[in-house]
Amino acid sequence: MSVDLPARIQLREAVTPTDGLLEGPRVLHEPRKEYELFTLRPLSRVIGAEIDGVDLREPLTPELREELNRALLEWKVIFFRDQDITSAQQRAFAANWGELETNPFIPKGDDDAVTRFERTAAMPGYENIWHVDVTWRPEPALGSVLRLVEVPPVGGDTMWADMAAAYDNLPEDVRARIDGLTAVHDYLPGFDRFSDPALLAQWQDRFPPVEHPVVRTHPETGRRTLFVNQAFTTHITGLDRAESDRLLRYLFLQAHTPEFQVRFSWRPNSVAFWDNRATQHYAVNDYHPHVRIAERVAIAGDRPF
């Protein structure tokens, strides 16, 4: 026996806030090219892969450098296990991608190009916010190579988000709205709660606020990438403050989508190499008061467009 249903079922009014993430399918583009010089194991559909068969103590051949670069561009962050390397070898590996840069706000390792994150019971971590490194520079870093010198007994993972996938999945009207906009980036929001004011004041003239596109074009892949982050982006140019804050909050949320993320659990002698032009990252601060010591080498980048 059939049941006749009303032509239009009336539901009570129930609307969730529109300035947030919504459920439903995500558009995910998974690279499927083969690699000849190493074995690659994806850790998610779109971002993050472990590489076996490469010894970072050895110089890279041009062919290996080219294939590793393809893996970096396709997977945005690549991981190497069981790499007992020194700071000098870490720098030498990173230098295959260009000139190395320094960071005046983070303590140094054994070289100006090495930044050292030493987190202890007395100095807990504060990198637990989704961010892109040094977007307060006119030419933000191309990428970074990170190794953990001391791994806590539990916790201390790092997460990365694919910001090209985040852009691809924005509603069409949002993409139309933000294409062509620029935003201001400043080092002060990311450091003023944890750094010596005298140190911050010392660099104000050297690093004034800079403008970057809200959506940048990756210089090698051509993909459109969402390029604002909560640590350093202060406002969108040309919008009043309330409208800018509202739009930025929405755009910042996109990095929180699990389908765009990979989470890496560190072990001794693990190394991560990420594309700073295409990702955001987040250092999970769940290991305090245990010690976590990491050293990072950053590769100088170019001006976003």
Report which of residues 125 and 146 the model is more confident about: 146
* Per-residue model confidence (pLDDT) at position 121: 86
Q: CA 235, CA 33: separation in Å to the nearest integer?
A: 39
Enzyme catalytic residues: 131, 133, 281, 296
- Predicted confidence band of residue 3 (pLDDT cuts 50, 70, 90): low
The pLDDT score that the predictor gives to residue 31 is 65
Tens-place pLDDT, residues 136-183: 999 999 999 999 999 999 999 999 999 999 999 999 999 999 999 999
| Residue 5 in this model has a pLDDT that exceeds 80 | no
- The mean pLDDT of 82-104, rounded to a whole number, is 96
Q: What is the DSSP string of 65-97?
A: HHHHHHHHHHHSEEEE-S----HHHHHHHHGGG
pLDDT 10s digits, 230-284: 999 999 999 999 999 999 999 999 999 999 999 999 999 999 999 999 999 999 9
What is the share, in percent, of the chain residues with pLDDT greater than 70? 95
Interatomic CA distance for residues 293 and 305, integer angstroms: 35
Among 129-133, 178-182, 195-199, 219-223, the range scoring the smallest mean pLDDT is 195-199
Q: What pLDDT score does 149 carry?
A: 94
Token pair recorded at residue 174: 């949002």
Token pair 């100006």 is found at: 112
The yes-or-no verdict on residue 2 having pLDDT over 70 is no
With contact defined as beta carbons under 8 Å apart, do 49 and 272 qualify?
Answer: no
Of the listed ranges 66-75, 111-120, 199-208, 248-257, the least confidently predicted one is 199-208
Query: What's the rounded mean pLDDT across residues 90-97?
Result: 98
Share of the chain above pLDDT 90, in %: 76
Query: What value does the mean pLDDT take over residues 76-102?
Result: 97
The yes-or-no verdict on residue 224 having pLDDT over 60 is yes
Confidence of residue 53 (pLDDT cuts 50, 70, 90): very high
* Spatial CA neighbour of 188 closest among 233, 227, 143: 233
- The whole-number average pLDDT for the span 74-83 is 97
Least confident of 12-16, 220-224, 273-277: 12-16
- Per residue in 177-210, pLDDT (tens digit) is 999 999 999 988 877 677 677 777 777 888 899 9
Contact, 210 vs 199, CB < 8 A?
no
User: Which of the two residues, 294 and 104, has the higher pLDDT score?
Assistant: 294
